[in-house]
Structure 1
Amino acid sequence: MSTIRKCAVKNCVYDESVTYHRIPKDFATRNDWLNLLCLPPTTSNRVCSKHFNPLDFVVKDDGHIWLKKNAYPFPVIITSEPFENEVEVEYTPLKYID
């Protein structure tokens, strides 16, 4: 039975094509990751590959994808206002001249 993993980063959408990586055990590196990702202090969470540069990975001969030991995730930017795709536009009716 397989387990569905979840990325610890807030609002990260599940994607079955990504790989998941544990937060490092090294105290300094772990704290750096937690600060960059705006996560509470824990080591049990996993971070998906969407939060790393593609150059941070190594593909082994057996096809397994490994995150390089010196890799750091992209910083998470938290905004106080939710992002909206809609733009409010004021409409002015056309006036026809005779």
Structure 2
Amino acid sequence: MSLDDLADDVDARSADLGDELTLSLDRETRNELALLRSALDPDEADELLRRALHQFFQTTVETGRLDFHLRSGYDVTYDEYLSGMTYDEMTGGAYQPQANQDDVRRYQY
């Protein structure tokens, strides 16, 4: 897989999610959410879930777990995804022109 495959998958899954998401909560998650709502008193439970997802995402990025999974599945990193280019493309390593025969002989002694 490649950077283009990852971008296509992200777009497709984003479209699948839409603007709203319905979740089923197990008992433990429901109790934890209720406790957090009581303690933090947000306007809506949705706000706590958004915060939790942001925190999980940040932790996954900072610990390198996201890069590990991206590298395993798509052979790219999160930084490459953000820039839209692989490191080889950024450094010119993906393009290696054929050396001119005269250039090769020039450096032989």
Structure-2-length-normalised TM-score: 0.22
Structure-1-length-normalised TM-score: 0.24
**Higher RCO (Cα < 8 Å, 6 or more apart):** 2
